[in-house]
Structure 1
Amino acid sequence: MCDHPSGCSNEATCQLTLRNEVTGLESVEYYCKAHFVARMWELDGDSRQDAVGATTLESEG
């Protein structure tokens, strides 16, 4: 996950909701936009997890 490290492209944060296809449990991860795209690429080849939602969160400030 991404907590705004120096490698992030900007201040925007994306919330990604995942569902484990084995257990059915959902989890939430947070990424900057650049790392969000990389994470989606990883999920494309993972049959155990499914992205069920993605939201861009408003920047504070």
Structure 2
Amino acid sequence: MKLSVGQYVRHDKHGWGTILECDRQQTLVYFRRVGVRKLSASEAVFQVVEDKVALKRRGA
């Protein structure tokens, strides 16, 4: 799965978050419950909810 900055994601352990930075080795995410976390590629298993661009297009 290709991740990009601004995507809203759900992580099994940390909950809802927004991707701040990402590359092949690690992903930096702001999670609502636990704050900013840097996750290795093996920990960065997310369900992508929606990205900010799509939300802006819908007027959210």
Asked if TM exceeds 0.5, the reply is no
Bucket of the pairwise TM-score, normalised by the shorter protein:
0.3 to 0.5
* Larger strand proportion of the pair: 2
With normalisation by structure 2, the TM-score equals: 0.37
Larger Rg: 1
TM value normalised by structure 1: 0.37
* Greater relative CO, 1 or 2 (CA 8 Å, sep 6+): 1
